Amino acid sequence: MAVAATLSQRKRVKRKAPRGFLRRVFKRRKPHLHLGTRCDLLVHLNCLLFIRRLAEESRTDACKNKCGIIKDQHVLAAAKVMLKKSRG
C-alpha cells in the first residue's frame, strides 16, 4: 500500500541489488533449496558489508606497505583475514 505509493514517485532505485543474479547463483549451488522472498536483499546486504570490510582491510594493508595503489597481494591478505572472520 504505502510502499507502492512511494515507489511510483521515484522509479529509479540507486544502487540496485542484483536480485536476479543472487537468486540464480543460489539456485545453481543449492538447487534443492528455495530462497525466501526478501532473503536475497539480505544476502545483498551481507555482500555489501563483506566487501566494505574487505575494502577497508585491503586499504589498511596497502597503506601499511606504503603503497598508493591497492595490489592483489593486499587484497589476498585482507581476504584471508576476512574469510576467517566471516566464517560463521
Please identify which residue in the block is written with the cell numbers 593486499: 74
In the complex, least distance from residue 50 CB atom to other proteins, rounded to whole angstroms: 6
Is residue 64 at the binding interface for other proteins, with CB under 8 A as the rule? no
Q: Which helix (H) or strand (E) holds 55?
A: helix 39-64
For helices 39-64 and 72-85, the axis angle rounded to 10 degrees is 130
CA separation for the pair 15, 1 (Å, rounded): 23
x/- track of binding to other proteins for residues 28-57 (CB under 8 A): xxx-xxxxx-xx-xxxxxxxxxxxx-xxx-
Question: Which amino acid is located at 71 in the chain?
Answer: K
Residues that bind other proteins (CB under 8 A): 1-3, 6-7, 13-18, 21-22, 24-26, 28-30, 32-36, 38-39, 41-52, 54-56, 58-59, 62, 68-72, 74-76, 79, 82-83, 85-88
